[in-house]
């Protein structure tokens, strides 16, 4: 009888633990960068970091939390 009570109690606690919703955090972003190489007739050249011109660079955080409602 005592083993049955322990097993039922443990099963109940495990079931309650799984009933809670999981919270989550998502990090996301876009990095749009490029490298320009310029070479001219005067024999000079340069490397420059520049925008990739496809979109703007951005990042964000998205979270989800169950408030029990």
pLDDT band at 62 (very low <50, low <70, confident <90, very high): very high
Residue 63 near residue 23 (C-beta atoms within 8 A)? yes
Whether 6 maps to a domain, the answer reads no
Average pLDDT (55-64) is 86
Tell me if 35 sits within 8 A of 51, measured CB to CB. no
Q: Is 31 inside a domain boundary?
A: yes
Is 32 part of any domain?
yes
Please state the domain count of the chain.
1
Quote the domain boundaries for residue 63: 23-69
pLDDT of 1 above 60: no
pLDDT digits (tens, 9 = 90+) for 7-41: 666 665 565 554 555 788 999 998 888 888 888 87
Distance CA 66, CA 22 (A): 7
Q: What are phi and psi of 21, to 5 degrees?
A: -75, 150
Asked whether 36 and 47 are in contact (CB, 8 A), the reply is yes
Indicate the SS3 state at residue 24: strand
Instruction: Say what the pLDDT of residue 61 is.
Output: 92
What average pLDDT score do residues 52-62 get? 82
Domain assignment present for residue 34? The answer is yes
In a domain, 1, yes or no: no
**Is 7 contained in some domain?**
no
């Amino acid at each position: 009888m005592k083993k049955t009570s322990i097993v039922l109690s443990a099963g109940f606690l495990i079931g309650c633990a799984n009933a809670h919703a999981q919270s989550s955090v998502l990090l996301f972003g876009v990095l749009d960068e490029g490298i320009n190489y310029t070479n001219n007739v005067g024999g000079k050249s340069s490397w420059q970091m520049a925008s990739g011109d496809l979109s703007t660079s951005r990042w964000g955080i998205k979270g989800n939390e169950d408030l029990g409602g």
